Amino acid sequence: MRPTVVAILMSVIFPMLALAQTTDELKNDERTPDDVLTYGMGYGQQRFSPLTRINRNNVKRLVPAWSYSMSDNRGQEAQPLLKDGILYLTDHEKTVALDALSGKAIWKSMIEYPPDTTRVVCCGIVNRGGALFDGKLYRTILDAHVIALDIKTGKEVWRTKSADPKDGYSMTVAPLVASGVVIAGVAGAEFGHRGYLEGLDPQTGKQLWRTYTIPAPGEPGAETWPGDAGSHGGGSTWITGSYDPDLDLVFWGTGNPAPWNPVNRKGDNLYTNSILAFQPKTGKVVWHYQMTPNDPFDYDGVNELVQAELTIDGTLRKVVMQANRNGFLYVLERATGKLLAANKFVKVNWAERIDLATGRPVWTEVTKAALEGKSVQVWPHLTGGKNWHPMSYSPISKLIYLNTTSFGWDYQPLPSEEVANLKPGQPHYGIKRPFVYIFDDPDGRGHLRALDPVTGRSKWAVPFKSPNFSGTLVTAGGLVFTGRLTGEFMAVDADTGKTLWEFQTSAGIVGQPITWERDGKQYVTITNGATGPYVMRSGDPNLANVPAGGSVWTFKLFEEYSGPQRATSGN
């Protein structure tokens, strides 16, 4: 059974000579630390850097090189990109290009969208980044458009409308360019959309294909939805997939079914909460794997899909890995989708285990009760054992590094009649109080962990009073960089978790750090400015006096410091 593919244009003549060099640059991104061209610092999204100039022996001498104000108090979640000494950053209302060495603004391109667009945005007015290819930066806009900007000038080259926010759609995802196609996904399951992925011509923005994550009536998988529930059944695609050029396959996670309350959508609800492996030129799905069938807990399956080569049962396997919100770490064979391992990495009470033979979860009484419309206390929280913030993987240590949460949820569904007859564009929660937290871990509300991806066991775990919602970056210098909601940007020893350095950026961090090299010197860049359901609704006392922020910070070693740079402004 496979999701629907709507072929708009299946063949197009690209100027291959012009694109060949930039296509090769994208493929080699993880091996060229002077540029950061892709989401995840490489198609495999390992967020690993081979740089060693900044290392565990000298990181204590890391100092700010410059900062730049984004002039916005919304969350700064986008991963910076870097090409030829220029940093590119996005947020919900603008794209900026900065001189990477000084932080000086080169150009700024503002974005306007209808104010009522935010009505169908559940969890933060944000953007998660762009994609660089053939002299253009591709990005999405909150009102469900994809645009291309000239990277030299910031001028708009083309704009394509993907969907209508009135139908519950929005876009925050960083596009992926694979095989010369710009691929983007949508958000909006909480407002009853029907999720999809689409491929666009990088030169014109013309739609090449669209693949829906929920099958239409009569198509394979439609039998897993009752009636017309699938027409507004969710399945968002709001986190960027990874790409294997050798297999020519893109791996992309799909989100939760809608509404959260499952009483009126009995069945597996394919292809929500799934990993899809598809061909980038056509959108044709080659295999799928579903993590949480008939999900009642909003365990969005969109999290990043990290590629690696792991030895499992004595055999070296090319795998794709996901630390899912549902609290299980999944390892699958890239070529076939075969499930190789699935282990708990946080407290989980909705499932006993994942059956490797069937790939399905073995439900506990907690889930069985929830599927019948009853109130339960469930771990992890809908925020997830790990939220969307990306993990990293070191091919040196063979470990993954990630921030996890340590709290549960008081799940209270509405009566079935109150969630019946919902229409696209209407709220699709079906829950009395969506963000009710149960804090029961005496060590704190979150951990930074180093995990064995095959066993799911922690080599080390560092507790924090407040959870971290920042991505991680691991380097060959033996360091893991990440940020905290309380504003600290920090580096820990990749072998032990010991904090070796931290800097107070004066605003919470939910961004994605990168590191890069210029003229033989290594730099680290992070954005600050935090938002999201936990920040807004948890009542965390540690966040009471943390400013909203919204800045870009770049750091380098003190011995390479040439004097203070005046902080530039986004105005």
pLDDT of residue 5: 43
pLDDT of residue 14: 38
Helix (H, G, I), strand (E, B) or coil at 464: strand
pLDDT of residue 120: 86
Using CA atoms of 352, 353, 355, 361 in order, give the dihedral in degrees to the nearest 10: 70
Helix (H, G, I), strand (E, B) or coil at 274: strand
Do 474 and 514 form a contact (C-beta atoms < 8 A)?
no
Query: Strand 48-49 to strand 473-475: parallel, antiparallel, or no bridges (unpaired)?
Result: parallel
pLDDT at 562 over 80: no
pLDDT at 561 over 70: no
- Give 79-105 as a 3 state SS string: CCEEECCEEEEECCCEEEEEECCCCCE
Catalytic residues: 298
Average pLDDT, the chain: 94
Q: Which of 81, 68, 103 is nearest to 151 (CA)?
A: 81
Sheet holding 48-49, edge to edge: 48-49, 473-475, 479-483, 488-493, 499-504
Do 543 and 535 form a contact (C-beta atoms < 8 A)?
yes
Do 174 and 139 form a contact (C-beta atoms < 8 A)?
yes
Mean pLDDT throughout 447-474?
Answer: 98
Do 299 and 324 form a contact (C-beta atoms < 8 A)?
yes
Determine which of 273-287, 303-317, 549-563 has the lowest per-residue pLDDT on average.
Answer: 549-563
Determine which of 264-268, 482-486, 528-532 has the lowest per-residue pLDDT on average.
Answer: 528-532
Q: Which of 294, 256, 535 is nearest to 382 (CA)?
A: 256
Of how many residues is the chain composed?
Answer: 571
pLDDT at 467 over 50: yes
Sheet holding 274-278, edge to edge: 242-244, 249-253, 274-278, 285-290
pLDDT digits (tens, 9 = 90+) for 200-249: 999 999 999 999 999 999 999 999 999 999 999 999 999 999 999 999 99
Question: Quick one: pLDDT band at residue 566, thresholds 50, 70, 90?
Answer: low
Residue type, 12: V
Do 163 and 186 form a contact (C-beta atoms < 8 A)?
yes
pLDDT of residue 73: 83
- Backbone phi and psi for residue 196, each to the nearest 5 degrees, phi listed first: -160, 165
Q: Which of 298, 341, 303 is nearest to 319 (CA)?
A: 341
pLDDT at 9 over 50: no
- Backbone phi and psi for residue 102, each to the nearest 5 degrees, phi listed first: -115, -20
pLDDT digits (tens, 9 = 90+) for 331-384: 999 999 999 999 999 999 999 999 999 999 999 999 999 999 999 999 999 999
pLDDT of residue 280: 99
Token pair recorded at residue 554: 């770049």
Do 367 and 426 form a contact (C-beta atoms < 8 A)?
no
- How far is residue 340's CA from residue 313's CA, in Å, rounded to a whole number? 10
pLDDT of residue 116: 86
Helix (H, G, I), strand (E, B) or coil at 5: strand
pLDDT digits (tens, 9 = 90+) for 269-301: 999 999 999 999 999 999 999 999 999 999 999
User: Which residues lie across from 431 on neighbouring strands?
Assistant: 413
Which CATH fold would you assign to the domain 53-560? Methanol Dehydrogenase; Chain A (2.140.10)
pLDDT of residue 422: 82
pLDDT at 12 over 80: no
pLDDT of residue 564: 60
Residue 54: count of CB within 10 angstroms of its CB: 27
- How far is residue 288's CA from residue 286's CA, in Å, rounded to a whole number? 7
pLDDT at 416 over 90: no
Question: Quick one: pLDDT band at residue 19, thresholds 50, 70, 90?
Answer: very low
- Backbone phi and psi for residue 161, each to the nearest 5 degrees, phi listed first: -80, 125
pLDDT digits (tens, 9 = 90+) for 45-72: 999 999 999 999 999 999 999 999 999 8
CA 332 vs. chain centroid, Å, equals 19
First to last CA, the chain: 52
Question: Quick one: pLDDT band at residue 463, thresholds 50, 70, 90?
Answer: very high
pLDDT at 495 over 90: yes
- How far is residue 318's CA from residue 34's CA, in Å, rounded to a whole number? 27
pLDDT digits (tens, 9 = 90+) for 385-396: 999 999 999 999
Token pair recorded at residue 62: 């890391």
Mean pLDDT throughout 553-558?
Answer: 98
Q: Which of 408, 383, 275, 376 is nearest to 325 (CA)?
A: 383
User: Which residues lie across from 447 on neighbouring strands?
Assistant: 404, 463
Percent of the chain with pLDDT over 90: 86
Using CA atoms of 316, 322, 323, 327 in order, give the dihedral in degrees to the nearest 10: -100
